[in-house]
Structure 1
């Protein structure tokens, strides 16, 4: 069975090199700016908190395991990341109605308000970055970036674990 490198032409190699370079530049710029929006709410919420609050807002209350599975991370990571959100009143923690030992996490009203403030700031940044783009270009970019993220998630989930070098 041919490997992906066996199926790569010289033109593909150049294009794939350019693509991986642009993804690396994007990752660096995204980390530098944290894509934190504009205005007063700029960089006021870290990526982990934003993603957790966003998922709870879109999918509703859920347990730690479901939240972890949906985000492709470990339950202990979710527990650690959600603790400050509970402490600051952005997330409510309650016992599961059918299993009192299980915990259900829910976005609080304060969390919903704070999330909308951050979303508006980040929306403004996206509008600023793409202000010279057409609506079709924005739509195409969003579609392709969504597809890229889904493919990246699928592929990385199937790759063997790399042993630690420490």
Structure 2
């Protein structure tokens, strides 16, 4: 086997390990959230949490822009936004850029629930990663962000 073939085989093996670990991360992350005993983890479902986190960071948006940013179908986001509005976690208001449209914004109650979930998740990961040194935690955070940025960029190109 040539060096190029060996390098190619090593790369494929590494990519296979990454695929396996990401699949496990997604499964175990959701299983951990469901199994955690504190109610704070369950005051919002995953979709509501992601929408509220995005609105908190990016500000009011129309549903179309929200769907684009979250890489979701517009009808999916419309259903989720309707449920959040029914629960008093977001409001709809006129779009300042287009008087015919509307934008959604988080309510104080929505932000409070999102902050509670975020704090609970932060504590959970603090417990899970408690034996890791600060450099390893920082490296993990940096590499996960890089992976998420690459995934997001790829989804935007499609």
* TM bracket, shorter-chain basis: 0.7 to 0.9
Contact in 2 for aligned 1:92/1:105 (Cα 8 Å) = yes
- Scaled by the length of structure 2, the TM-score of the pair is 0.86
Q: Secondary structure at the match of 1:126?
A: helix
Q: Gaps (5+ residues) in structure 1?
A: 1-5, 160-166
Q: Name the structure 1 match of 2:80.
A: 81
Q: Name the structure 2 match of 1:124.
A: 123
Q: Name the structure 1 match of 2:95.
A: 96
Q: Name the structure 1 match of 2:53.
A: 54
RMSD: 2.3
Q: Gaps (5+ residues) in structure 2?
A: none
1:28 lines up with 2:27 in the alignment:
yes
Q: After superposing the two structures, state which structure 1 stretch, 22-31 or 6-15, moved more.
A: 6-15
Q: Which has the higher helix share?
A: 2
Q: Secondary structure at the match of 1:89?
A: coil
Q: Name the structure 1 match of 2:67.
A: 68
CA deviations on 1:72-95 (whole Å, 9 max, x unpaired) are 222221111111110111101112
Q: Name the structure 2 match of 1:3.
A: none
- For the residues of structure 1 that align with 2:7 and 2:42, how far apart are their CA atoms? 40
Q: Secondary structure at the match of 2:103?
A: strand
Contact in 2 for aligned 1:49/1:81 (Cα 8 Å) = yes
Q: Name the structure 2 match of 1:137.
A: 136
Contact in 2 for aligned 1:96/1:103 (Cα 8 Å) = yes
- Aligned-pair CA distance for 1:36: 8.0
Q: Name the structure 2 match of 1:16.
A: 15
